[in-house]
């Protein structure tokens, strides 16, 4: 009888341990809830640039890659037959690159409280450990290559380490290309993707914009090998390479999604620094002196028939910075003469004439780049040297070299309306091409342009509040002002899922955007 | 010697899990086999818990009951909108009891009991979707109680005694939904308090209007476990003055109520070998209004977690059959109402209404010693629920989904009557 009891106990324990886990009526885990529709997500390959790679905070680093929109998508595709999704992960969370042991790319940005006491983006401490010549083995589902333009995906040698120094090759692609000659597209197609995403073309116009329009609009030039890095790609070149890329990917894929080019002016990079950051408090004692000096100049502007170029700082409110506008007629000569006629000594007049020949005060139509934030109001030492070299006394040279106050902000810091229109026009042309190709091939089409405009104008709701394009705090943009936060990428991923579901009658679940970090990266880089 | 060894072994085992809120109803294998009904059953020293007044009606001079239950609980969560899912670790917790009574005179019995009526042990995968609410929790409380039982007449007795509680809690969660250190490790806080003590009492009566009918009432008082100067350890916080807290250990104060419980019930003997028992429990959960953690340093934001529990009832039914001279069989059922209101469904106590199906037996090995076994299957309906009071930037951010739970409770005990 003792044994009998033992048996009962053993059996009941055994039953309890092995059986009867609670089961849902419709289980997420067992795939009861979602369908792939007409698409085959088993082998998803993502092509693109930095946005696809998961670039953030001006760097590529592991944590950013894990929150790349393709990786977010791949996790959701797992519910509808998606397979493993591999990424060419960096060696660390510091970011930055080494080439033969020499650092060639900076570490990522963090928001740090510096000596000033106010938070500002700063490169995280530490030395990068990602050596680009340590080429990774195997193929990678995430083929996002930071810095790539549309035509780069077809460029042989784009992953050749020896071309990095001359700008012929891309250090990020060097890390994971299959061979020195392989193109990004070849390496993608070789994986026989069953589904793909393509988000390319941003850099074809973005680098022109982020450099303040110092590049050349190459419209009409059909040879991209002759383009400089900050140039705008010819729309016909773009259309040609883009359709080649889609065609190659379509050879094995059941479907795919094309993502268009956002309006660069909707990014925090262009909307953070106001055109009029100069307040009476900021200018202090200098305000009266500056206005007195500019009064002489304004008389000359009036005499020359361009009174609209007058510069005056308000004593009560914020004033626009002084900018160099290349779209204005250069009136240096006339201005010098007018100033001499007004009684200014000839050498001084010549310096003024040269400095303000295309100057004007910024207005609400100008976009001041994020990179100017640390430059405005600072004495430009290069300019001081230049003026001293021209024979200007040291003190006066210093007074004339304050960025945006006495020395017009140079081209690379400001997008003037003419440049903005140029960029907007090209972007619209590219997007028309992308939409056309998407429709012609029955591919899903994601209007990222509209999405980021919504973020910039009012914001996008999520369970923890509102995502806006506000720099550092809005939740969408990382500390470089252009690339997205994990939360921003999650918003994009959800938009892609919506379009994919609609196009292919699939029911891929969306992610909870609030679970992705939208806060600014903080830390010291010093980890125990 | 053997007995003291057994006691030590049992005392080392941790208490835990399951029954409305963090109440764990496993205070006697004989009663548990009958749906945990026992306020009016005079059977063994289990009365020390169920109704001390009944101890004086036990036939033997010395009565001892001891036992331990293995609680195997499973919780599954999923969110159909996002495709996230999680399952708790299949860990075993082992609530126990030890009761003894000694009849001093015909009308006066003393007793001593140790039992674990409250506890919780839930472990989700670290960094799961609800990790800002809980990664894992382990709560235990041991009640120790000296008892007296007075027979006022054949029809009526009273009993009770003071309760000494010692308890502890270990609770781990992530600081919020998204913060990580420089390497992407989720920022985390773990609070730990042990040897938290307090006192309470219980009192009961038993009324025997006829030979076959007994009526019992028992009340156990509320006891608040006040943890003072516990350790809260923050880890994986980025090293920055912009971070909400710093890595390291700080002190905290928190309190957790072990609510009062009121029980009435009856037992009725019929057809010689049969006994029916019914208990009604009312647990005064409304005392559990909010789980607040007050971190000692001014700079560390305190944690406020509304719970807003409501009082809850449990209905227990049991049947006993004397199958053989030495073998007694028992079955039972109970319906356990959750104290958790809709919208306050926090994953650290993922409890909705449950149905308990129970069974068990006793076998009399010798005239003095019997072995008691019980088994419970606790079933929860699939429920769509959320916890809506987690705050982010001053805004409530619900965490919800579908929960499905169950639990198995095999238990073994021994009864000694001398």
What are the tens digits of pLDDT across the range A499-528? 999 999 999 999 999 999 999 999 876 543
Residues in B closer than 8 angstroms to A510, CB to CB, are 81-82
* CATH code of the domain in which A445 resides: 3.40.50.1110
Give me the residues paired with residue B355 across strands: B335, B379
Chain B CB within 8 Å of residue A465 CB: yes
Restricting to B residues 258-297, those with a Cβ less than 8 Å away from any Cβ of A are none
What is the 3-class SS of A67-125, one letter each residue? CCHHHHHHHHHHHHCCCCCCCCCCCCCCCCEEECCEEEECCCEEEEECCCCCEEEEECC
| In a shared domain, residues A350 and A398 | yes
What is the spatial distance between Cα A4 and Cα A496, in angstroms, rounded to a whole number?
62
Kindly report, residue by residue over B309-359, the tens digit of the pLDDT: 999 999 999 999 999 999 999 999 999 999 999 999 999 999 899 999 999
The answer to whether residue A484 scores a pLDDT higher than 90 is yes
Q: How confident is the model at residue A209 (pLDDT cuts 50, 70, 90)?
A: confident
Q: Which residue has the tokens 């039972």?
A: B332
- Predicted confidence (pLDDT) per residue in A280-293, tens digit: 998 988 899 999 99
pLDDT of residue A278: 94
Residues A193 and A220 in one domain: yes
B135 vs A15 pLDDT, higher one? B135
In a domain, A268, yes or no: yes
Token readout for B94 is 């082992």
Pairing of strands A195-199, A255-259: parallel
- Mean pLDDT in chain B? 93
Residues A320 and A201 in one domain: no
A237: pLDDT strictly greater than 50: yes
**Whole-number average pLDDT of chain A:** 93
Q: How far is CA A206 from the centre of its chain?
A: 8
Q: What are the strands of the beta sheet with A195-199, ordered from one edge?
A: A142-144, A44-48, A195-199, A255-259, A444-446
Mean pLDDT of B166-176: 95
pLDDT band at A126 (very low <50, low <70, confident <90, very high): very high
- What residues of chain A lie within 8 A of the CB of B84, using their CB? 28, 512
pLDDT at A342: 85
Supply the CATH number for residue B184's domain: 2.40.160.60
Q: How many CA atoms lie within 13 A of A359 on its CB side?
A: 28
Going by the DSSP 8-state scheme, the letter that residue A411 receives in this structure is: G
C-alpha to C-alpha distance for A492 and A447, rounded to whole angstroms: 10
Residues A453 and A480 in one domain: yes
In chain A, the residue whose alpha carbon lies closest to the alpha carbon of B379 is A22
Separation between Cα atoms, residue A112 and residue A123, nearest integer Å: 9
Q: Would you state the pLDDT for residue B6?
A: 43
* Confidence band for B1, pLDDT divided at 50, 70 and 90: very low
Q: Region A322-351: what's the mean pLDDT? A: 91
Same domain, A234 and A296: no
Are A437 and A510 contained in the same domain? yes
On the 0-12 / 13-18 / 19+ scale of CB atoms within 10 A, B136 is: buried
A63 shares contact with chain B (CB less than 8 Å): yes
B79-120, pLDDT tens digit by residue? 999 999 999 987 788 999 999 999 999 999 999 999 999 998
Tally of structural domains, chain B: 1
Task: Provide the domain limits for residue A308.
Answer: 280-363+367-413
Write the residue in A5, A13, A79 that is nearest to B83 by C-beta.
A79
Chain B interface, best mutation among A2, A4, A5, A19, by max B CB count within 10 A:
A5
pLDDT of A430 reads 98
Our count of domains for chain A comes to 2
Burial of B11 (0-12, 13-18, 19+ CB in 10 A): exposed
Q: Count chain A–chain B contacts defined by CB atoms under 8 A.
A: 142
Reported as a single tens digit per residue, the pLDDT across B249-300 is 999 999 999 999 999 999 999 999 999 999 999 999 999 999 999 999 999 9
- Which of the listed residues A347, A381, A413 is the one where a domain comes to its end? A413
pLDDT band at A343 (very low <50, low <70, confident <90, very high): confident
In a domain, A526, yes or no: no
pLDDT tens for each residue of A364-405? 999 999 989 889 999 999 999 999 998 889 998 999 999 999
The token duo for A466 is: 């509102």
Residue where one domain finishes, among candidates A355, A381, A413: A413
A390 occurs within a structural domain: yes
**Are B240 and A23 an interchain contact pair (Cβ–Cβ within 8 Å)?**
no
Tell whether A409 and A456 lie within a shared domain.
no
**Closest by CA position to A75, among listed A498, A451, A513, A493:** A493
pLDDT at A527: 44
Per-residue confidence (pLDDT) for residue A20, from 0 to 100: 73
Q: Are residues A193 and A296 in the same domain?
A: no
Statement: the pTM of the whole predicted model exceeds 0.90? yes
Cα A478 from Cα A486, distance rounded (Å): 8
How many Cβ atoms are within 10 Å of A366's Cβ, its own excluded? 23
Between A212 and B71, the more confident residue is: B71
Tell me, yes or no, whether A499 lies in a domain: yes
Determine the pLDDT at residue B261.
97
Domain membership of residue B200 as a residue range: 2-417
- Structural domain includes residue A91: yes
State the pLDDT confidence band at A6, using cuts at 50, 70 and 90.
Answer: low
Q: Name the closest residue on chain A to residue B409, using Cα atoms.
A: A16
Of A34, A464, A524, the CB nearest to B239: A524
- Does some domain include residue A13? no
Q: pLDDT-derived band of residue A210, with 50, 70 and 90 as boundaries?
A: confident
Any CB–CB contact under 8 A between A13 and chain B?
yes
What pLDDT does B7 receive? 43
Render pLDDT for B13-57 as a digit per residue (tens, 0 to 9): 433 334 467 899 999 999 999 999 999 999 999 999 999 999 999
Q: So what's the pLDDT on residue A7? A: 62
Question: Whose CA is closest to A199, among A455, A484, A421?
Answer: A484
Ramachandran angles phi, psi of A166, nearest 5°: -90, -5
**Are A373 and A421 within one domain?**
no
- What percentage of chain A carries pLDDT values higher than 70? 96
A172 pLDDT more than 50: yes
ipTM (interface predicted TM): 0.90
Local confidence band at A411 (pLDDT 50, 70, 90 cut-offs): confident
């Amino acid at each position: 009888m003792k044994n009998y009891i033992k048996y009962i106990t053993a059996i009941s324990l055994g039953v309890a341990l092995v059986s009867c886990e609670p089961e849902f009526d419709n289980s997420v885990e067992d795939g009861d809830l979602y369908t792939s529709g007409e698409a085959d997500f088993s082998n998803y390959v993502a092509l693109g640039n930095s946005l696809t790679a998961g670039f953030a905070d001006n760097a590529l680093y592991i944590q950013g890659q894990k929150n790349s929109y393709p990786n977010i998508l791949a996790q959701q595709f797992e519910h509808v037959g998606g397979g493993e999704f591999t990424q060419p992960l960096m060696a660390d969370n510091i970011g930055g690159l080494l080439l033969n042991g020499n650092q060639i790319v900076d570490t990522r940005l963090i928001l740090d409280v510096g000596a000033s006491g106010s938070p500002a983006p700063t490169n995280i401490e530490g030395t990068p450990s990602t050596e680009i010549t340590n080429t990774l083995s195997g193929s990678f589902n995430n083929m996002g290559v930071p810095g790539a333009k549309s035509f780069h995906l077809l460029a042989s040698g784009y992953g050749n380490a020896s071309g990095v120094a001359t700008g012929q090759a891309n250090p990020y692609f060097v890390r994971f290309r299959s061979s020195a000659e392989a193109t990004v597209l070849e390496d993608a197609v070789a994986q026989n993707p069953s589904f793909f995403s393509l988000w390319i073309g941003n850099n074809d116009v973005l680098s022109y914009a982020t450099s303040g329009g110092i590049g050349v609009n190459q419209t009409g030039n059909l040879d991209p090998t002759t383009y400089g890095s900050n140039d705008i790609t010819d729309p016909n070149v773009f259309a040609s390479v883009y359709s080649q890329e889609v065609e190659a990917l379509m050879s094995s894929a059941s479907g795919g999604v094309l993502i268009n080019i956002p309006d660069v002016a909707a990014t925090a990079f262009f909307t953070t620094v106001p055109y009029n950051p100069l307040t009476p408090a900021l200018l202090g004692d200098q305000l009266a002196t500056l206005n007195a000096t500019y009064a002489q100049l304004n008389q000359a502007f009036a005499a020359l028939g361009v009174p609209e170029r007058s510069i005056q700082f308000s004593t009560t409110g914020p004033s626009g910075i002084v900018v160099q506008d290349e779209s204005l007629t250069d009136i240096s000569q006339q201005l010098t003469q007018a100033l001499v006629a007004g009684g200014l000594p000839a050498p001084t007049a010549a310096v003024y004439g040269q400095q303000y020949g295309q100057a004007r005060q910024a207005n609400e139509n100008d976009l001041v780049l994020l990179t100017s934030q640390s430059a405005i109001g600072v004495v430009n030492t290069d300019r001081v040297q230049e003026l001293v070299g021209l024979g200007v006394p040291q003190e006066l040279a210093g007074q004339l070299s304050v960025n945006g106050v006495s020395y017009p902000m140079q081209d690379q810091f400001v997008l003037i309306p003419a440049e903005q229109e140029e960029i907007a026009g090209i972007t619209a042309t590219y997007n028309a091409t992308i939409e056309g190709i998407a429709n012609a091939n029955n591919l899903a089409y994601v209007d990222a342009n509209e999405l980021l405009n919504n973020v910039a104008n009012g914001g996008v709701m999520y369970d923890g509040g509102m995502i806006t394009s506000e720099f550092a705090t809005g939740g969408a943009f990382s500390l470089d002002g252009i690339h997205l936060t994990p939360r921003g990428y999650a918003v994009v991923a959800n938009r892609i899922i919506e379009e994919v579901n609609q196009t292919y009658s699939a029911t891929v679940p969306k992610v909870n955007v609030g679970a992705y970090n939208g806060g600014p990266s903080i830390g010291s880089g010093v980890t125990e | 010697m053997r007995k003291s060894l057994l006691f030590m072994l049992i005392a080392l085992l941790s208490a835990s899990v399951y029954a409305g809120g963090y109440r764990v109803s496993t205070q006697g294998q004989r009663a548990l086999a009958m749906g945990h009904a026992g306020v009016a059953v005079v059977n063994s020293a289990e009365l020390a818990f169920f109704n001390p007044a009944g101890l004086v009606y036990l036939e033997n001079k010395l009565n001892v009951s001891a036992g331990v239950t293995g609680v195997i609980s499973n919780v599954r969560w999923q969110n159909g909108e996002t495709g996230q899912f999680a399952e708790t670790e299949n860990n075993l917790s082992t609530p126990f009891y030890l009761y003894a009574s000694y009849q001093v005179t015909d009308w006066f019995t003393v007793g001593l009991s140790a039992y674990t009526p409250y506890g919780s042990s839930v472990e989700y995968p670290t960094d799961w979707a609800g990790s800002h609410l809980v990664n894992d929790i382990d709560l235990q409380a041991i009640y120790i109680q000296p008892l007296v039982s007075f027979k006022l007449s054949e029809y009526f007795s009273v009993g009770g005694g003071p309760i000494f509680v010692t308890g502890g809690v270990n609770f781990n969660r992530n600081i919020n939904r998204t913060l990580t250190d420089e390497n992407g490790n989720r920022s985390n806080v773990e609070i730990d308090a042990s040897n938290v003590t307090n006192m309470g009492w219980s009192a009961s009566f038993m009324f025997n209007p006829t030979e076959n009918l007994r009526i019992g009432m028992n009340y156990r008082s509320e006891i608040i476990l006040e943890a003072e100067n516990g350790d809260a350890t923050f880890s994986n916080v980025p090293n920055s003055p912009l971070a909400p807290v710093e890595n390291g250990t700080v002190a905290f104060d928190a309190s957790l109520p072990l609510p009062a419980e009121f029980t009435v019930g009856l037992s009725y003997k019929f057809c010689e070998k049969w006994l029916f028992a019914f208990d009604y429990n009312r647990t005064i959960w409304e005392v559990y209004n909010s789980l607040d953690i007050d971190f000692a340093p001014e700079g560390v934001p305190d944690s406020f977690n509304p719970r807003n529990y409501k009082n809850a009832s449990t209905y227990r039914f049991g049947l006993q059959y004397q199958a053989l001279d030495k073998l007694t069989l028992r079955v039972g059922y109970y319906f356990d109402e959750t104290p958790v209101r809709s919208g306050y469904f926090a994953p650290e106590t993922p409890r909705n209404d449950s149905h308990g199906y129970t069974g068990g037996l006793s076998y009399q090995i010798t005239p003095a010693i019997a072995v008691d076994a019980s088994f419970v299957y606790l079933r929860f309906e699939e429920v769509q629920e959320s916890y809506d009071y987690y705050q982010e930037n001053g805004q409530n951010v619900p965490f919800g989904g579908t929960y499905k739970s169950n639990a198995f409770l095999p238990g073994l005990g021994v009864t000694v009557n001398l």
